[in-house]
Amino acid sequence: MATFRLGAIASIATKIPHQNVAKLQRINLVRRFATGAAPKKPTSTFGLALKGMAIGALVGTGWSGYSYFKGGPTDHMLHEHVGPKVLDKLPDVKIMRRVVNPKDDSGLDLVLFQFQTCPFCCKVRAFLDHSGLSYSVVEVDAVLRQDIRWSDSKKVPILLAKTKTGKYVQLTDSSMIVSSISSFLRDKKQDIGELAKYYPSISYENDAGRKVFDIMNKYFLMFQEKKVDNRTKEEQEDERKWRAWADDHLVHLISPNVYRTKDEALETFEWFSDVGEWNLHFPKWERDLMVYVGAFAMWGISKRLKKRHQLSDDVRSHIYDACDRWIGEIEKKKTTFHGGSQPNLADLAVFGVLNSMEGCQAFKDCLENSKIGPWFYAVKERVLKNRGNAL
């Protein structure tokens, strides 16, 4: 049905390290154990054979496990392919609001589980709104997360989309959500459930030696054999490049900036509460827990994130530079948006990430110290113009 871009997976997979010191150390530990000193008391031949078999099994099992997770020279440590999960029916949760667009002719039935100010959730909403889609919203408690207890994935956004069978396919990565829905909108004869299968999660071993999953081709659009995208190959590649930049770089500058100090962290969470209407959706004790515990926790976490992403103490300078780098790219094109006269998926990704901090001091500082303002509000105007009515 669709063209699956294996080249994208291969190119990304080659960046995954082929060795892991921690794993080797564990294997060496098993070997040292297996070659330890012999027992002082004489042992029967049968007993020695049993012990030899046990040690051999231990070493063999350890080596097999290591080899499986390490991967060979030809598979680049790519192993399991796990498709999206399918639910027989919607979970028993409270729909907190609906965005209804009378002009929506997609036929899609969508339920978005989100945090209102999560950068990845903002990306998805920016795309859905700009596309003029109707969807329901479940606001998840950022601390207790009770409304996603039914899901193996405890991260948001989660988008449930009704398939032609009446079941709901679960989409769990913001960029994959955007790519799969965008592919569908270009050819509405496709079934969103079948289309989602072209975005499997693939396991690999990360730098810490842990088995993790990622959707390697999440920035690619999937079409039938007929041509439904009039852009050049270079334009499509450029869009994917900047969508990945928003995920891999820009989004990591948000937390260190909006939670830079305890006061800014508290101010940020108070804003989260206002725009998310936490006082309406949650009991007061739960709302206060989310604000005060969340603010203190994120202030502490932001320090670790700053170190992890090698940011200087002047974290504002990094986000100013990122904003100006993005605008510089658009200025080269001499167009209003990265997509030309209309925002493309890269525009919506960068806008969504920045929109997550619009009410924070960090964003106000960005408006004053970078050139991001005119472009940001131009995209926002298009998104709001296409958006349905919030009920």
Q: What are 244-269's pLDDT values in tens digits?
A: 999 999 999 999 999 999 999 999 99
| Tokens describing residue 193 | 């459930």
Question: What pLDDT score does 307 carry?
Answer: 92
Question: What pLDDT score does 145 carry?
Answer: 85
Residue 36 pLDDT > 60, yes or no? no
**What number of residues does the chain have?**
391
The overall average pLDDT reported for the chain is 83
pLDDT tens-place string over residues 348-386: 999 999 999 999 999 999 999 999 999 999 999 999 999
| Cβ(143)–Cβ(289) below 8 Å | yes
The better pLDDT of the pair 144, 215 is held by 215
pLDDT tens-place string over residues 270-292: 988 998 888 888 899 989 998 99
pTM of the shown model: 0.78
Q: Which residues pair with 135 in a beta bridge?
A: 99
pLDDT tens-place string over residues 88-137: 999 999 999 999 999 999 999 999 999 988 999 999 999 999 999 999 99
Which whole number is the average pLDDT over 321-333? 97
In the chain, pLDDT over 90 holds for what percent of residues?
64
| Cβ(159)–Cβ(140) below 8 Å | no
Question: What pLDDT score does 13 carry?
Answer: 38
- Domains (ranges, CATH) in the chain? 77-224 (3.40.30.10), 232-383 (1.20.1050.10)
Which whole number is the average pLDDT over 312-339? 97
Question: What pLDDT score does 277 carry?
Answer: 87
The better pLDDT of the pair 124, 31 is held by 124
Which whole number is the average pLDDT over 149-174? 95
Question: What pLDDT score does 33 carry?
Answer: 30
Residue 5 pLDDT > 60, yes or no? no
Question: What pLDDT score does 221 carry?
Answer: 94
pLDDT tens-place string over residues 179-238: 999 999 998 989 999 999 999 999 888 888 888 889 989 999 998 666 677 889 999 999
Question: What pLDDT score does 78 carry?
Answer: 56
Residue 175: pLDDT band by 50, 70, 90 thresholds?
A: very high
Residue 52 pLDDT > 80, yes or no? no
Question: What pLDDT score does 4 carry?
Answer: 37
Which whole number is the average pLDDT over 70-86? 64
pLDDT tens-place string over residues 308-324: 999 999 999 999 999 99
Residues 6 or more apart from 199 whose CB is under 8 A from it? 84, 173, 176, 179, 180, 215, 217, 218, 222
| Tokens describing residue 359 | 């009410």
Question: What pLDDT score does 278 carry?
Answer: 87
What residue type is 331 in one-letter code? E
Rounded Cα distance between 158 and 160, Å, is 7
Question: What pLDDT score does 24 carry?
Answer: 39
Q: Report the relative pairing of strands 211-214 and 201-205 from DSSP bridges.
A: antiparallel
In the chain, pLDDT over 70 holds for what percent of residues?
79
Residue 64: pLDDT band by 50, 70, 90 thresholds?
A: very low
Question: What pLDDT score does 226 carry?
Answer: 60
Q: What CA–CA distances, in Å, run from 43 to 37, 48, 49, 158, 309?
A: 14, 6, 10, 60, 57
> Edge-to-edge, what's the strand order for the sheet holding 211-214?
81-82, 201-205, 211-214
Residue 42: pLDDT band by 50, 70, 90 thresholds?
A: very low
| Tokens describing residue 154 | 């405890």
Question: What pLDDT score does 224 carry?
Answer: 65
